[in-house]
Structure 1
Amino acid sequence: MSELQVVDPHIHLWEISTHRYPWMEAEGEGYTGDISPIRRDYVVTDLLADAAAAGVVILDAVHIDANHDPADPVEETRWLQSLADAPGNHRLPGAIVAAADFSQPTAEVEKLLAAHCQYRNVRGIRQILNVHRNPRFDYVGRHFMREPLWRSNFGLLSKYRLSFDLQLYPDQMPEAVELARQYPDISFIINHAGMLVDRGSVAGWRAWRDGLAQLATCANVQIKLSGFGMIDHGWTTESIRPYILQAIDSFGAERAMFASNFPVDRLYSDYGTVWRAYADCVADASAAEHAALFRDNARRIYRLE
């Protein structure tokens, strides 16, 4: 296959030698498996090296918060902007999706959003929402979208022209539909194709499929196709194909985009294998659809210059 050019809208960078990432300090294994192979610094040069070795050209990239020390989320933003401004880093990451906790007092949330927006590459916010009855899959242990203060503070995104990266499980999707309809001027981007962890049952598939269909009725919701390795460590092109095609069928090629989730998905594959699997899954797409899925949608949705 010829050289593949991409805008990667879901990458993580970290410098554990100088910053703190609590999730990397946890003992034992979560459902993503043993993270020790990625428990080391991973910066722009590492990402570009992974891509170059695979024959993939990264035209731009979006950094999604890496669960940096919650005591100082703005420090992650400051560091990322310094990387983007550094010579030799090709202005990467071109966009930053920072961290914020909307359950905090309103004045604190507004102060935090204003601080993030002092850095020109900031485009959005992510607050992980995943709640699951199985403790192995449960991220946050509370249903933020059901909390009035959280929902009210969430509306501040509109004031600061920020999007929201929506990371959740399928059974949370009906609540997310209500949120998206409450705030139609805020752009929502579903992370990791909706994270179908209950993929082994018919009920799990239906909850995911129907949840995506409901979210797709909201014009302000888009979807990222990524993170399949976290759910299925031994994934193949054929195993992820049904999820990719179903998601694109729900949202259309104009509201879907491929992403790597590197270096987390480096635990399960290399950079080129991920992107070429995506290309194989949509091999019959038109040139315009291919450009949208691999580059153009990410540029538009994250307002990349």
Structure 2
Amino acid sequence: MNRIIDPHLHFFSLRQGQYHWLKNNPPAWPNLDLIRQDHLPDALLSLNGFSLEGCVHIEAGFDNEQPRRELEWLAQLLPATRYKAVSYAKIDAPAAQFRRQLEALKHPSLVAIRDITEGQDATRLLTPQVADNLAHLSDSGLHFEAQFELTHHSVVTHLCNIARQVPNLRIMLNHSGLVGQTDNWLENAAVLAALPHCAIKFSGHELLDNPLPLQAQLTSLLDLFGAERVMFASNHPVCLIQHDYQSIWQQYLALCQQDNALWHRLSYANAKNWYGFNGS
């Protein structure tokens, strides 16, 4: 049995949560009907050949005005030892507002915050208050789940400058940096990889029209970040654009080409270490 800790998934309860992005203004995704429904942990507990030992739940718009509601809902769904939570806070908010946001989010499961800054929204990471907010995040024992395209050189440079001033700041880059076949990204990835407290999640390829070949991309990321700072993640249920949950982990297992030590690191050990799961 292949034990996994999935460091990037979402659970939905459409009745209890708001999910305005999914209900009222849904993206033009293939298989949207499979995604736009309730998704709860029990559906992932009967996998063939894999055992989901733990997961990191990433905020999913349950209630962006009161994001703690999602944390309280998760605590009713999952044993505390089996999950960690990433919530939402506006990373470019004025410093006092950002501190109030974090204070309101205090919860035993909370390990990080995410604020999606894709496309033109990435320029929000260049605002002056981001440095103070990331420093406060680090001081609070939390890390930043960054979600932007690795093609944004100015953003990468700015985050690295902040990280050098805040040496304990931990940054987790989501979805492999969202790079496609024609994108120039390797130089920026190398700059981020030079930060010892920066890791990357290998996920989200279903979001791209022309993703890089997975084996080649994985090889490049391992060369840059090392085997200790790359981790496989599902992006469930958004992965249903292309793959069901079982299939995506089978695909990841195949990428390791029977290297059991590498598979264990990328599918279990790295997520355990970076997100602070207890146990063996």
List alignment gaps of at least 5 residues for structure 2. Answer: none
Q: Number of aligned residue pairs: give it.
A: 275
Could you say which residue in structure 1 is the equivalent of 2:249? 275
1:8 counterpart letter in structure 2:
D
Match 2:97 to one of 79, 86, 108: 108
- Tell me, yes or no, if structure 1 residue 222 matches structure 2 residue 194: no
Partner of 2:160: 177
Identity within the alignment, %: 28
The 5 Å alignment of 1:240-259 reads 240-259=214-233
2:174 aligned partner: 191
Verify: 1:84 aligned to 2:78, yes or no: yes
Residues 126, 27 of structure 1: alpha-carbon distance in 2 compared, 3 angstrom cutoff: closer
Whole-angstrom distance in 2 between the partners of 1:254 and 1:176: 21
Number of the residue aligned with 1:239: 213
Q: Map Cα deviations across residues 126-158 of structure 1 (whole Å, 9 max, x no partner).
A: 1112124xxxxxxxx361221112322221112
Q: 4+ residue runs of structure 1 moved beyond 6 angstroms?
A: none
Q: CA deviation at 1:284?
A: 4.7
How far the C-alpha of 1:291 sits from its partner, in A, is: 1.7
3-state SS in 2 of match to 1:57? strand
SS at match of 1:18: coil
CA distance in 2, matches of 1:292, 1:218: 20
Whole-angstrom CA distance in 2 between matches of 1:142 and 1:189: 15
Query: 1: CA distance between counterparts of 2:50 and 2:86?
Result: 23
Contact kept in structure 2, 1:94 and 1:121, CA below 8 Å: yes
**For 1:11-30, what aligned pairs fall within 5 Å after superposition?**
11-27=9-25, 29-30=27-28
* Counterpart code for 1:243: Q
Q: 2:146 aligns with which of 143, 166, 182?
A: 166
1:22 counterpart letter in structure 2: H
* Residue 41 of structure 1: aligned partner: 38
State the alpha-carbon separation in 1 of the partners of residues 74 and 239 from structure 2: 20
Contact 1:165–1:188 (CA under 8 A) maintained in structure 2:
yes
| TM superposition shift of 1:103 | 2.5
One-letter amino acid of the structure 2 residue matched with residue 195 of structure 1? L
Offset at residue 58 of structure 1 (A): 0.3
The residue that corresponds to 1:264 in the other structure is 238
C-alpha distance in structure 1 between counterparts of 2:26 and 2:10, whole Å:
22
Give the Cα–Cα distance (whole angstroms) in 1 for the partners of residues 234 and 213 of structure 2.
Answer: 16
1:137 matched residue in structure 2: none
SS of the residue corresponding to residue 164 of structure 2 reads helix
How many angstroms apart in 1 are the aligned matches of 2:71 and 2:130? 22
Once the two structures are TM-superposed, the CA of residue 180 in structure 1 deviates from its matched residue by 2.7
Using structure 1 for the length normalisation, give the TM-score.
0.83
1:254 touches 1:289 (CA, 8 Å); kept in 2? no
Displacement after TM superposition at 1:105 (Å): 3.1
Letter in 2 for 1:279: L
Deviation per residue, 1:104-133 (Å, 9 max, x gap): 23233212212222x21111111112124x
Question: Could you say if the C-alpha distance between residues 47 and 25 of structure 1 is closer, same or farther in structure 2, counting changes exceeding 3 Å?
Answer: same
The 8 Å contact of residues 54 and 271 in structure 1, kept in 2 or not, is answered as no
Q: 1:95 aligns with which of 75, 84, 87?
A: 84
Identify the residue that residue 303 of structure 1 maps to in structure 2: 276
- 3-state SS in 2 of match to 1:249: helix
User: Paired residue for 2:109, among 112, 121, 129?
Assistant: 121
Alignment correspondent of 1:138: none
